[in-house]
Amino acid sequence: MGVMIIGTGHTKFGRLNESLYDLIIAAGREALEDAKIEAKQIGGIFVGNYSGGGFNNQEHLAPWAIEINPELRFKPCTRIENACASGSAAIKAAKNAIEAGEMDFALVIGVEKMTTLDTKGVTKVLAMASYWPEEGAKGMTFPGLFAQFALGYKEKYKITDEKFRESLAKVSAKNHTNGKYNPLAQMGKELSCYDILNLPDEKNPIIAEPLRLYDCSLVSDGAAAVVLSKEEFAKDLKDELVEISALIHTTDYLPLSKRYNWEFTAGKKAVMQAYEKARITVEDVDFAEVHDCFTIAEILAYEALGFAKDGEGYKLLDEGLVYPDGKWPVNVSGGLKAKGHPVGATGVSMAVLATRQLLGKAIGIQLKDCEIGVTFNIGGSAASNYVLVLKRVC
Amino acid sequence: MGVMIIGTGHTKFGRLNESLYDLIIAAGREALEDAKIEAKQIGGIFVGNYSGGGFNNQEHLAPWAIEINPELRFKPCTRIENACASGSAAIKAAKNAIEAGEMDFALVIGVEKMTTLDTKGVTKVLAMASYWPEEGAKGMTFPGLFAQFALGYKEKYKITDEKFRESLAKVSAKNHTNGKYNPLAQMGKELSCYDILNLPDEKNPIIAEPLRLYDCSLVSDGAAAVVLSKEEFAKDLKDELVEISALIHTTDYLPLSKRYNWEFTAGKKAVMQAYEKARITVEDVDFAEVHDCFTIAEILAYEALGFAKDGEGYKLLDEGLVYPDGKWPVNVSGGLKAKGHPVGATGVSMAVLATRQLLGKAIGIQLKDCEIGVTFNIGGSAASNYVLVLKRVC
C-alpha cells in the first residue's frame, strides 16, 4: 500500500514578519488548498519543529495546527523532533499513520522561527542538537562539528588545502546561483567559486576552521507543508501524482566522537535501504535535494547517495555532474545555503521542492524529464538520517 | 492486527542522581530484558520527552537511545513531544510503526529530568506547554491554568467552597495513600482528607486559588519504557500478554480561552472513540491511571471516562468508587500527585503500571481480577489528550 503526496505548501524563507503561529497556518492552508480535499478529511496533523521552546518559548506546538481550519478541531496533532531532520521525521510519522490504517489523509507541517534570537542565542539553541555534555556544554558549535567533518575528510583523502577550499567554494557558488531562481529563497545570487575564493576575510571570515561564512547555511524563518494520501484515494483526486517510494531513517551515535568524521555512515545505510525499498539504483535518480547545512555536508551527501565513490565526492563539482545541467543536479532550489534553513521546516521543504520538480511545477529551476527525486536530510551532526525517494506516477 | 506490550521498565521517580542519559538507558534496558527479546530485534525506538532543551540543554535526544545496546546502532530513533502527554504520543508513534509494517518490535521510552532547574525555572519551562503569547508570556502558569478549570467547574456546577475543597483534598489524600505502597513513587504517605484540610497555610499554601500545594503534582526525574510487539510474534514469546485494544488521540485548541473550563472536551471524545474501538463500555473498565497533574484534573478525568455524569465526578470520592476497593480504582499507583510526574515519562509510566497491574505483577497495590485497564494522559491544559485501553489476553 503506497502513500502519495497530493498537496504542497511553502512560505518564503528568510527573516520574516510572520510569527511561528502564522507560518504554520500559511503553509498548512496552502497545502490543503493544493490537495483539493476538505479539511475534515484530514485524519491527523504532524508538526516537524526543532526547538519552539528554545526559539519561541513554545513547546507543545502541534495543537496550534488545528487553527488552520475549524474542521480540524479534535484531530490528533503531534510534534516530532529530530533536530534539523524534524521535517522528514514528521513525514515519516504521517506515512506510518496512513499505512497503519489510522487515517487516509495526513497534513505534515515543518516549521521554525529562528530570527527571534540573536546569533549567539541561535548558536546556543542549535548546539542543543549536539551531545550536550561532551559537545555543546564544552563550547562546540555546529560550525565546529562540521569543521570536524571537513578536517576529517580532507585528511582521510589527502586533499590539498587549495583544492579543498576550491571544492567547498564550488558548492557554495552553485547553491547561491541556483537560489537566484527560487522565488521563495532567502538569498540567491550569481556567484562563481572564484568570486567566493577572492572575497576578503572581512566579507568571508572563518567561522570554524576551515569553514567560512560562505560555507554556512542561513538562520531562517519559514514553513513548508505536504498533504499525504493513501494511494487508493490519491488516484481519484489527481492525474499526476508523486509517490513516496521509500522513506528510510537511520540513527548513529549522538556524540561525533563515536563515529567517523569523514563520512555519513548511517546516512549511507539509509540510502542503501531506500534504494532497495524503492527498487532503484543510483542511476535511476534524476535529482536530489540534500542537507548542505555546511558545504562539506553536501560533498559527504554525494558519497552517501552513491553519486561518487568514497573520497571522490568533491570531484563531481569539477566534472559538472551536480549542476542543473548535469547527471545528478543537487540542490537546484539553492539548498540550505541559499534557500535558507528554518531547521524544522527543512525536511518538508525538500519534499515540497522535489514534488513540485517532479510535477513540472518547480519553484525555481525546472529540470527536464524527471521521474525520481531523492531528498537527504540529517539531524545534528548526522546522528539522525532520512532518505526520501519520490517518484512521479501517472 | 494487534499490538502487544511484551516488556516494561520503570525507574524510581523523584529527585534522582541519574542524568537524563542514565535514565533512558536504565528504563530501556529493563524493558528489553523483561521482553526477553534480543536488542537487534527492535526495529525502532520512540522517545517521549517534553523539554530536554529547557531542562537539560538537550534537544535531539532520541539518538542517545542506541546507547542502550550496541546492537541498536543504526536503528531509527525518534523523539515525540506533546507536552505532558509525550509518553503516550511516543507509544502511539511506535504502535503505528508496527501496524504500518515498518517494524515487528519497537522500544518506547518516556523520560524527563526536571530537577536540574529551580522552581522558577521549572515553572517557566512548563509554561511553554501553554499557548505562550496569551498564557505563558502573560505570567500564566500551569497551576494557574488548572485553577481556571477548578473555578470553572465549581461555578458551573454550583459546588460550595467547603464541599469543593473537601473533594480536592480527597483526591490528594487517596493518591498520597496509594503512593505509599508504590516502591518507585517519589512520595507516599497515609493521609486522610481531614489531615490535608487541617494543614496550616504555611504547610499547604495557596499556589493558584483555589489550588494549594497538596493539589499539585511533583517536580520529578524518571523514565519508563515498554516494548511493543506485533501480535503474531508476541504470542510466541509469552503466555500472558497485554494487548493495546485502543489508543486514541484528540486535540483541542491550544489556548484555554477557546475551550470550556469545566470539562476535558477533547478528552471525552477520545474516551468515546477508545471505548468504541476497544468494543467495551465503561462497565468493562477495571481500573484507570489518570492524569492528576492537579487534583481537579482527576475529577474531570472521572467525567471524561464516563465514571460519573457531568458535574458529578467529585461525588465518586464520597461514594468510594475510585478507591482501591471500589468499582473503578483510579491511580492506585499514587498518580502524578504521589508517584511523581517527570512529564515526558508519565504516559509511558501509566502504560507500565497498567500492564503490570493486568499481569498480576503490580508495582504497588495489586487489584484482583483485572482484565481491562485504561490510561488517560493529557498534555498542556488538555489540548492534547490520549486514551489507552489495555486488555489482558491469554
pLDDT score recorded for residue A348? 98
A305: CB partners within 8 A, 6+ apart: A271, A282, A285, A288, A290, A328, A374, A376
Lookup: cell for A215:
560555507
Please state the rounded mean pLDDT for residues A357-379: 97
pLDDT of A85 higher than 70: yes
Mean of pLDDT over chain A: 97
pLDDT score recorded for residue A379? 98
pLDDT of A125 higher than 80: yes
Report the residue of B96, B99, B253 to disrupt the A interface, i.e. the one with the largest count of A CBs within 10 Å.
Answer: B96
pLDDT score recorded for residue A1? 63
Please state the rounded mean pLDDT for residues B337-362: 98
Q: How far is Cα A349 from Cα A386, in angstroms, rounded to an integer?
A: 14
Whether ipTM tops 0.90, in short, is: yes
B351: CB partners within 8 A, 6+ apart: B5, B8, B87, B88, B91, B224, B226, B375, B388, B390
Q: Are A355 and A245 in contact (CB under 8 A)?
A: no
Judged by CB atoms within 8 Å, which residues 117-146 of B form the interface with A?
125, 127-133, 136-137
Closest CA relative to residue B317, chosen from B336, B333, B301, B340: B301
Whether B83 and A59 lie within 8 Å, measured CB to CB: yes
Closest CA relative to residue A86, chosen from A62, A58, A51: A51
Q: Is B249 a catalytic residue?
A: no
Regarding predicted confidence, which is higher, B234 or A316?
A316
Mean of pLDDT over chain B: 97
Q: How far is Cα A373 from Cα A361, in angstroms, rounded to an integer?
A: 14
Nearest CA in chain B to A385: B76
Whether A269 and B92 lie within 8 Å, measured CB to CB: no
Q: Is B216 a catalytic residue?
A: no
Assign B228 a pLDDT band (cuts: 50, 70, 90).
Answer: very high
Return the bridge partners of B244, or none. B390
Please state the rounded mean pLDDT for residues B158-176: 98
Whether B76 and A269 lie within 8 Å, measured CB to CB: no
pLDDT of B262 higher than 80: yes
pLDDT score recorded for residue B235? 82
Return the bridge partners of A46, or none. A78, A108
Backbone angles phi, psi at B242, to 5 degrees: -120, 125
Query: What CATH number has the domain bearing residue B224?
Result: 3.40.47.10
Residue B276 lies in a domain: no
Residues in A touching B44 (Cβ below 8 Å):
249
Name the active-site residue from B176, B249, B291, B341.
B341
Name the active-site residue from B84, B216, B293, B370.
B84
Assign B258 a pLDDT band (cuts: 50, 70, 90).
Answer: very high
Nearest CA in chain A to B344: A60
Nearest CA in chain B to A380: B60
Whether B132 and A93 lie within 8 Å, measured CB to CB: no
Whether A82 and B83 lie within 8 Å, measured CB to CB: no
Report the residue of B60, B107, B114 to disrupt the A interface, i.e. the one with the largest count of A CBs within 10 Å.
Answer: B60
Please state the rounded mean pLDDT for residues B51-64: 98
- Which candidate from A58, A92, A129 shows the least CB-CB separation from B59? A129
Residues in A touching B127 (Cβ below 8 Å):
57
pLDDT score recorded for residue B236? 82
Report the residue of A45, A92, A142, A251 to disrupt the B interface, i.e. the one with the largest count of B CBs within 10 Å.
Answer: A251
Backbone angles phi, psi at A391, to 5 degrees: -135, 135
Whether A56 and chain B come into contact, CB under 8 Å, resolves to: yes
Please state the rounded mean pLDDT for residues A57-86: 98
Whether B80 and A93 lie within 8 Å, measured CB to CB: yes
Residues in A touching B54 (Cβ below 8 Å):
53-54, 59
Closest CA relative to residue A263, chosen from A380, A149, A384, A144: A149
Whether B96 and A96 lie within 8 Å, measured CB to CB: yes
- Residue A90: give the domain boundaries: 3-118+219-237
Whether B99 and A95 lie within 8 Å, measured CB to CB: no
List the alpha helices (DSSP H) in chain B.
Answer: 20-35, 52-56, 86-99, 119-127, 142-156, 161-179, 193-197, 231-237, 265-278, 295-304, 315-319, 335-339, 343-358
Whether B250 and A74 lie within 8 Å, measured CB to CB: yes
pLDDT tens by residue, A231-245: 988 888 888 899 999
Which residues of A are designated catalytic?
84, 341
Residue A89 lies in a domain: yes
pLDDT of B288 higher than 90: yes
- Which candidate from B59, B99, B253 shows the least CB-CB separation from A50? B59
Residues in A touching B83 (Cβ below 8 Å):
59-60
Whether B210 and chain A come into contact, CB under 8 Å, resolves to: no
pLDDT tens by residue, B19-49: 999 999 999 999 999 999 999 999 999 999 9
Whether A73 and B249 lie within 8 Å, measured CB to CB: no
- Which candidate from B57, B58, B73 shows the least CB-CB separation from A253? B73
CA–CA min distance A142, chain B (Å): 13
pLDDT of A287 higher than 90: yes
Closest CA relative to residue A316, chosen from A335, A303, A331, A297: A303
Residue B110 lies in a domain: yes
pLDDT score recorded for residue A117? 97
Closest CA relative to residue B194, chosen from B220, B166, B175: B166
Residues in A touching B377 (Cβ below 8 Å):
none
CA–CA min distance B296, chain A (Å): 22
Backbone angles phi, psi at A121, to 5 degrees: -65, -45
pLDDT of B1 higher than 80: no
Q: How far is Cα A76 from Cα A103, in angstroms, rounded to an integer?
A: 10
Whether A56 and B101 lie within 8 Å, measured CB to CB: no
Residue A8 lies in a domain: yes
Report the residue of B22, B23, B64, B81 to disrupt the A interface, i.e. the one with the largest count of A CBs within 10 Å.
Answer: B81
Closest CA relative to residue B345, chosen from B84, B62, B26, B61: B84
Measured CA distances, A48 to A223, B86, B108 (Å)? 10, 14, 19
Whether B79 and A77 lie within 8 Å, measured CB to CB: no
Return the bridge partners of A249, or none. A386
List the alpha helices (DSSP H) in B217-294.
Answer: 231-237, 265-278
pLDDT score recorded for residue B234? 84
Q: How many domains does chain B have?
A: 1
Q: How far is Cα B42 from Cα B47, in angstroms, rounded to an integer?
A: 14
Backbone angles phi, psi at B57, to 5 degrees: 55, 25
pLDDT score recorded for residue A92? 98
Residue B81 lies in a domain: yes
Whether A21 and chain B come into contact, CB under 8 Å, resolves to: yes
Residue A148 lies in a domain: no
Residue B213 lies in a domain: no
DSSP B366: P
Please state the rounded mean pLDDT for residues B201-221: 97
Residue A246 lies in a domain: no
Residues in B touching A230 (Cβ below 8 Å):
none
Whether A59 and B80 lie within 8 Å, measured CB to CB: no
pLDDT of A385 higher than 70: yes
- Quickly count: other Cβ atoms within 10 Å of residue A71's Cβ: 14
Strands A384-393 and A241-251: antiparallel
Q: How far is Cα B152 from Cα B210, in angstroms, rounded to an integer?
A: 11
